[in-house]
Amino acid sequence: MNRIKWILIWISVITLARLSYKYNIFRNLKYAAMPETSSEAYLNSGDAYYNKGLYDKAIENYTKAIQINPEYASVYLHRGVACDMKGLADKAIEDYTKAIQINPKETEAYFDRGFAYEKKGLTDKAIEDYTKAIQINPKYATACVARGFAYDRKGLSDKAIEDYTKAIQINPKETEAHFDRGLAFCYRGISYHNKGLYDKAIEDCTKAIEINPKYELAYYSRGSAYRKKGFSELCISDWKKATDLNVKQARQDLKEFFNIDY
């Protein structure tokens, strides 16, 4: 398999895990102070079950909240996320769509529906939803990163680089923004790699590592760029670091290209 294609497949797995974790934190912050009316009580109970990984229980409580208040957009959004975590992409999309119908300005619903479309391989639909989220909130860095990744999957490296660059430029000085910057630098680096711009790829992956010294994909990608430039020792060093961070492909490449068992 082409290694850059492998990188993009691997990104999709890592991205889903990281953005799901990020969204979990967002939910806790946004709804912690919500008043306890009956539908809101079920929403909060659903969130509590969700945060414990009890998605069936979460869905049950969200559904009760909807039965009490069928026009409660946030509950559809939350139930959609829980369905998504269970692998029920179609049901999740239905809930995100309902949340959008109730509140057309719900940026998270567009983002999450785009993510669900992405997992189903419907990249064009995903791009449409990420674009809508960005139109509503032009400083939505995570949506810029996600749309850039979708463009990358379509082979549109220039558009991807534009989105990653925008995400980097947004960068308010918050922990969440550093998460977005790390992704954006790393993914932009991979896009540069795909275009043969290895110096730029190395520069961006290095910045991603400065933000997160345990960013396994950045080490692997930077190592790949070093190999293309003939810097074997630097490549070996990065691939060993990636291997230490559980990137199996890095171990395989060390053996294949350098006959190193590590």
- DSSP for 12-39? HHHHHHHHHHHHHHHHHHHHTT----HH
- Asked if residue 94 is part of any domain, the answer here is yes
**Residues 157, 124 share a domain:** no
Residue 26: inside a domain, yes or no?
Answer: no
CATH, residue 262:
1.25.40.10
75-93 pLDDT, tens per residue?
A: 999 999 999 999 999 999 9
Residue 128 falls inside a structural domain: yes
Rounded Cα gap, residues 49 and 101, in angstroms? 26
Mean per-residue pLDDT for 64-75?
Answer: 94
Q: Do residues 222 and 256 share a domain?
A: yes
Binned at pLDDT 50, 70 and 90, residue 238 comes out as very high
User: Of 109, 137, 165, at which residue does a domain stop?
Assistant: 137
pLDDT, tens digit, for every residue of 162-205?
999 998 888 655 445 566 678 788 889 888 988 899 999 999 99
Give me the pLDDT at residue 37, please: 57
Find the helix or strand (DSSP H, E) in which 141 lies.
Answer: helix 141-153
Show the domain range for 159.
1-10+144-262
